[in-house]
């Protein structure tokens, strides 16, 4: 999501059985708009648990997820919460860590948790305030590293300052015999002018190297310029390329997909500190802001999302139409990205609801390309893009607008599949756990992983 900030940013997730069942009807399109907090869903997707936001997070925005073992780690603009999800139908708040700094994007590896700060703060501690008056060099934003050996008592270890902060970060495992982790730090400057700690051109990412045995030695080791030609220059209604918003890696295949505002990019990451652009695409007709990317499990496709309106606008309506604020499915063909189709939820939302394509993940169904995805107040959608040219929705769930009379921002920021259930971090309402009961996805319940970071994909057939 994009927000107004100090740099002038615009407000802006049995083969035969599955195959046999593909002719079953999908959840249908509708123009009926549910009432305030009126849950509407397809019969195969149901809410099984909910937790309201509490304590220091009650009045601030929930953001992204990461998972490890029996715990879910939920970002919030005031810090992060640790949820015990041993029983997904009865989750509890295990602890909360007060540490302000939007967006507080989270990644996890082993006993380490990485927290991204993308707003200028008075210092790098968790006792900080927003700062736009201090001298630029004294302002801090970047990555905080926590030790979560005991998930109930996270311990702050280290900070690493990065240019333009860290809007999102991507955990990249080192290659064989490399004792380091890497973080690809995505950030950007859409102001069109130099900003404090974020000078133009900002056509790069920062790469942090984290020695696994000595995380306190983490440091920026590279800042590769990804767009030496400047990338897409932008136009009315279409964002310029100035850095990246989000990068997803498929480390096993030495691939990464970057959503870089004006460009969709495929990278070779065989050298972790020197990602190389393989190919890029632009959609100057329908895509406004290339926001995120998801590979299919075989690494032969990428789903890019367009966050039209930056997550702060009503775009799921007939005025905007089905091809804007949507997903775009691309096949990877001989090193090129070949467009297949758009997908957008087939429901009309109220003009008081922010609704646009946002964060999701694959559901592990061998032989099929199926993902779950958040659409802010558009709710949660499960859709199948196995046929790149004819994606179709399989299930949906939403709770209706927060207000029927005025525009209010809220809804699901991230909806991810983790060990048999879907977890949604609702910006305004809190945590939702959903259960998908559909014969087309039933096999997914048998796949288990001990750690999940949405931007660090691995082969679920190896789980």
Return the bridge partners of 79, or none.
76, 98
Which pLDDT band holds residue 31 (cuts at 50, 70, 90)?
Answer: low
The CA distance from 457 to 238, in Å, is 28
Q: Which helix (H) or strand (E) holds 18?
A: helix 15-20
Which pLDDT band holds residue 15 (cuts at 50, 70, 90)?
Answer: very low
> Is residue 260, in this structure, part of any structural domain at all?
yes
> Is residue 27, in this structure, part of any structural domain at all?
yes
Task: Answer for the pair 124, 83: CB distance below 8 angstroms, yes or no.
Answer: no
For the stretch 250-270, pLDDT in tens is 999 999 999 999 999 999 999
> Is residue 425, in this structure, part of any structural domain at all?
yes
The CA distance from 170 to 250, in Å, is 11
For the stretch 112-142, pLDDT in tens is 999 999 999 999 999 999 987 777 778 999 9
Residue carrying the six token digits 């767009």: 227
For the stretch 378-400, pLDDT in tens is 999 999 999 999 999 999 999 99
> Is residue 9, in this structure, part of any structural domain at all?
no
Reduced to 3 states (helix: H, G, I; strand: E, B; else coil), residue 61 is coil
Poorest-confidence range of 78-87, 227-236, 419-428?
227-236
Q: Average of pLDDT values for 259-282?
A: 97
* CB under 8 A, 24+ apart: contacts of 193-197: 193/8, 195/6, 195/7, 195/8, 195/164, 196/6, 196/7, 196/120, 196/132, 196/136, 196/139, 197/120, 197/136, 197/137, 197/139, 197/141, 197/163, 197/164, 197/165
Q: Average of pLDDT values for 47-58?
A: 97
For the stretch 207-262, pLDDT in tens is 999 999 999 999 999 999 999 988 999 999 999 998 999 999 999 999 999 999 99
Q: If you ran DSSP here, which 8-state letter would residue 193 be given?
A: S
Which pLDDT band holds residue 33 (cuts at 50, 70, 90)?
Answer: confident
Tokens of 224: 């590769």
Specify the CATH number for the domain of residue 108. Answer: 2.130.10.10
> Is residue 3, in this structure, part of any structural domain at all?
no
Q: How many domains does the chain have?
A: 1
Strands (DSSP E) along 162-300, which ranges? 168-173, 180-186, 206-211, 219-222, 246-250, 255-260, 263-268, 276-281, 290-295
The CA distance from 428 to 447, in Å, is 31
Q: Average of pLDDT values for 146-173?
A: 97
The CA distance from 234 to 284, in Å, is 9
> Is residue 285, in this structure, part of any structural domain at all?
yes
Reported pTM: 0.93
Please give the residue range of the domain that contains residue 253: 15-462
> Is residue 1, in this structure, part of any structural domain at all?
no
Cis peptide, bond prior to residue 250, ω within 30 of zero: no
> Is residue 5, in this structure, part of any structural domain at all?
no
| Best CA proximity match to 45, nearest among 326, 372, 342 | 372
Sheet holding 421-426, edge to edge: 45-52, 430-436, 421-426, 412-418
Reduced to 3 states (helix: H, G, I; strand: E, B; else coil), residue 181 is strand
């Amino acid at each position: 999501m994009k927000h107004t900030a100090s740099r002038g940013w615009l407000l802006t997730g049995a083969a035969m059985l599955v195959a046999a069942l593909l002719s079953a009807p999908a959840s249908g399109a509708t123009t009926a708009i549910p009432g305030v907090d009126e849950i509407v869903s397809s019969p195969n997707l149901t809410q099984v648990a909910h937790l309201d936001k509490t304590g220091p997070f009650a009045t601030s925005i929930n953001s992204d997820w990461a998972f490890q073992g029996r715990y879910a780690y939920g970002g919030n603009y005031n810090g992060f919460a640790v949820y015990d999800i041993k029983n997904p139908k009865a989750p509890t708040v295990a602890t909360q860590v007060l540490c302000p700094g939007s967006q507080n994007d989270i990644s996890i590896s082993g006993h380490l948790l990485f927290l991204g700060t993308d707003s200028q703060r008075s210092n790098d501690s968790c006792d900080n305030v927003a700062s736009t008056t201090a001298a630029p060099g004294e302002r801090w934003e970047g990555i905080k590293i926590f030790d979560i050996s005991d998930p109930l008592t996270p311990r702050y270890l280290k900070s690493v300052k990065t240019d333009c902060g860290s809007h999102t970060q991507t955990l990249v495992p080192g290659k064989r015999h490399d004792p380091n982790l890497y973080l690809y730090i995505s950030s950007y400057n859409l102001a069109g002018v130099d900003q404090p700690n974020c000078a133009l051109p900002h056509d790069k990412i920062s790469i942090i190297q984290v020695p696994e045995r000595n995380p306190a030695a983490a440091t920026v080791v590279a800042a590769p310029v990804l767009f030496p030609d400047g990338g897409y220059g932008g136009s009315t209604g279409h964002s310029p390329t100035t850095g990246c918003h989000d990068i997803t890696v498929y480390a096993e295949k030495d691939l990464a997909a970057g959503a870089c505002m004006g460009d969709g990019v495929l990278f070779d990451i065989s050298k972790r500190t020197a990602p190389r652009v393989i190919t890029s695409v632009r959609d100057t007709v329908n895509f406004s802001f290339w926001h995120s990317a998801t590979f299919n499990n075989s690494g032969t496709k990428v789903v890019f999302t367009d966050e039209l309106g930056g997550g702060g606008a009503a775009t799921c309506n007939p005025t905007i139409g089905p091809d804007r604020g949507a997903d775009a499915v691309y096949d990877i063909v001989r090193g090129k990205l070949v467009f297949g189709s758009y997908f957008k939820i087939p429901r009309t939302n109220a003009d008081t609801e922010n609704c646009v394509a946002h964060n999701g993940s694959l559901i592990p169904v061998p032989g099929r390309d199926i993902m779950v995805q958040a659409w802010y107040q558009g709710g949660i959608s499960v859709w199948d893009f196995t046929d790149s040219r004819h994606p179709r929705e399989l299930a949906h769930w939403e709770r209706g607008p927060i207000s029927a009379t005025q525009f209010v921002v809220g809804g699901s920021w991230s909806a991810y599949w983790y060990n048999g259930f879907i977890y949604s971090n609702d910006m305004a309402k809190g945590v939702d756990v959903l259960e998908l009961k559909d014969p087309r996805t039933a096999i997914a319940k048998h796949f288990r992983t001990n750690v999940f970071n949405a931007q660090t994909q691995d082969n679920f057939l190896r789980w």
